[in-house]
Amino acid sequence: MAYFRTQDGCSLYYEMIGFDLARPVVVFLNGTLQTTMYWKVIAASLQPRFRSVLYDARGQGESELGSLPLSLDLHMDDLWALMRHLALGPVSLVGLSHGALLGYAMARRRPKAIRRLVLCSVGVRAPMRARLIVRTWPEILDAAGLEVLVSAVLPQVFGEAFLMRNRKHIDRIAKAIVRRNPQDALAAHLLAMKDYPRLRSMLAKLEMPSLVISGSDDPLVSVDGAEEVAEKSGGRHLVAKGVGHSIAAEAPEWFLETVSRFLADRWTDMPEGL
């Protein structure tokens, strides 16, 4: 557990897991409302074959918001600065939702620095329902506060099967999310996302192997939209059936096995889907 200070003075929180210098590096990128806690079990389970870097982007978790306006370019600058600070060679990126968008943009900007790319819960041609859902998030946050927003978001970012399995723990999950997310930073994050470039405008054949994973029970990302990202990037698309937006949390064993095989270049024995 450590902090890295960016050139403009913003303090970013990061953790290194299994940091044997002889092992390839995987950097995990958080989605909206997520922190390093989301990836800890997955990162720990990748040992000893891989070493992992977890970090909270500006405004997430333990990281400061900073004084600069948030943007996708700024997040890329931060990620690159952290990689240079840690003297990392080419790394694999694993991102979910907002983290997947950041990972894709980074792969386009600095292809030589990325060896493999895993993109979860991201796609083009967002369903109208998804557009309306996301549009309400800053409105709910402004009008009713963080606790109400998290209550509204939970059924949108978790699939039905996960919610049923964890129905006795939903309140505890919601409280943990609220505790880890400063309201002012989340408001800045949601506002900045409105000006992000469209993923479709970035789509191109990538120089590194890529894997796109989507959930069949995800109201925010369509299977077809995720498949198009994989097709135009020259990568592979897998569908996790009965899983919502939070793939790694909802199907951790399958996710770990699938990502481990992909990162280790074991393409031939990868599953077709969950």
pLDDT by residue (tens digit) across 218-244? Answer: 999 999 999 999 999 999 999 999 999
| The CATH fold of domain 2-263 | Rossmann fold (3.40.50)
DSSP state of 79: H
What does the pLDDT read at residue 234? 97
Task: Tell me: pLDDT of 16 over 90.
Answer: yes
Half-sphere exposure of 75 (CA within 13 A, CB side): 25
Q: How far apart are CA 59 and CA 184, in angstroms?
A: 8
Tell me the domain boundaries of the chain: 2-263
| Whole-number percent of the chain with pLDDT over 70 | 97
Model confidence at 273, pLDDT cuts 50, 70, 90, reads low
CA nearest to 26, candidates 58, 51, 55, 56: 51
Q: How far apart are CA 192 and CA 187, in angstroms?
A: 9
**Roughly what angle, to the nearest 10 degrees, separates helices 146-157 and 170-180?**
120
Max CA distance (Å), the chain: 51
DSSP state of 113: G
| pLDDT tens figures, 27-72 | 999 999 999 999 999 999 999 999 999 999 999 999 999 999 999 9
| pLDDT tens figures, 123-167 | 998 889 999 999 999 999 999 999 999 999 999 999 999 999 999
